[in-house]
Amino acid sequence: MFVLTQSPSVADRFLAELRSVEIQKDSMRFRRNMERLGALIAYEISKELDYKKEEVQSPLEKASTYVLERKIVIGAILRAGIPFFQGFLNIFDQSESAFIAAYRSNKSEETGNVEINMDYVASPDLTGKVLILTDPMLATGKSLVVAYRTLLKYGKPSEVHLAAVLSSREGIEYVKNEIPEAKLWTVAIDEKMNEKFFIVPGLGDAGDLAFGPKK
């Protein structure tokens, strides 16, 4: 499990701005910080991928370089995931993309559980590719697990990375158990969730903060 804020960096400021009730009033800044953190995690993931050597011709001479061995597919879970996903796409700019619309309905009082609704899936063939599934909030972990299982209908990836901005301790354990084959990446881990399964201290509702409240 990789935690970006394990050592201090600019990522701490981007995350602090995402959490700040004052700075959250600026939704463009909220989206931009999500995007910046997506780019930072994408760079960290890029260090773990397989590369092959190639040559590039400069105006003066040939130079050697590395290019990615396998195709990448970046998965986004709508809607809160869009700005975070964009940060990954800015770095892995030749990737294909997969989209999943998932939202939580808070049935906690009746069932004690969060239920995940999925309305829309669009994905390329995933066979033999590197799948990076992104979602800024890993709370119970159910959205990521349901989304991943749905995507497997589109082929078996050669490797799987799951990336979040904020993860709850409980959610991480759940995802690790359900998807042991995945590598997990997060900006930070928060210890608690409240009775509505929101991450605490967290940042609130990421989708609403990025795009406004749902009617």
128-157 residues near ligand PRP, rule: CB under 6 A: 135-143
Q: Check residue 115 for interaction with Mg ion (CB under 5 A).
A: no
- Residues 187-206, mask of contacts with Mg ion (x by CB under 5 A): ------------------x-
Q: Where are the alpha helices (DSSP H) in the chain?
A: 10-19, 27-46, 81-91, 108-111, 142-151, 169-178, 206-211
Q: Which of 207, 210, 211, 212 binds Mg ion (CB under 5 A)?
A: 207
Candidates 27-35, 51-59, 96-104, 155-163: pick the segment binding ligand PRP (CB under 6 A). 96-104
- Residues 129-168, mask of contacts with ligand URA (x by CB under 6 A): --------x-x-----------------------------
What are the distances in angstroms from CA 120 to CA 147, 151, 172, 191, 209?
A: 10, 11, 25, 31, 22
87-126 residues near ligand URA, rule: CB under 6 A: none
Q: Which of 80, 116, 147, 187 binds ligand URA (CB under 6 A)?
A: 80
Type of residue found at 49:
L
Candidates 32-40, 71-79, 149-157, 203-211: pick the segment binding ligand URA (CB under 6 A). 203-211
Q: Check residue 205 for interaction with ligand URA (CB under 6 A).
A: yes
Sign of CA dihedral 137, 106, 214, 149: positive
Distance, CA of 49 to CA of 53 (rounded, Å): 13
Query: Please, are residues 119 and 127 in contact by the beta-carbon 8 Å criterion?
Result: no
126-136: burial string, b at 16+ Cβ within 10 Å, e else: beebbbbbbbb
Q: Check residue 34 for interaction with ligand PRP (CB under 6 A).
A: no
Type of residue found at 29:
R
Q: Check residue 35 for interaction with ligand PRP (CB under 6 A).
A: no
Q: Which of 206, 207, 169 is nearest to 186 (CA)?
A: 169
Q: Which of 36, 104, 129, 161 binds ligand PRP (CB under 6 A)?
A: 104
In sequence order, the β-bridge partners of residue 199 are 193
> Which residue has tokens 């066979």?
127
Type of residue found at 67:
V
- Closest distance to ligand URA from the beta carbon of 162 (Å): 15
Q: Which of 4, 89, 126, 206 binds ligand PRP (CB under 6 A)?
A: 206
Site for ligand URA, rule CB under 6 A: 80, 137, 139, 198-199, 202, 205-207
Q: Which residues bind Mg ion (CB under 5 A)?
A: 205, 207
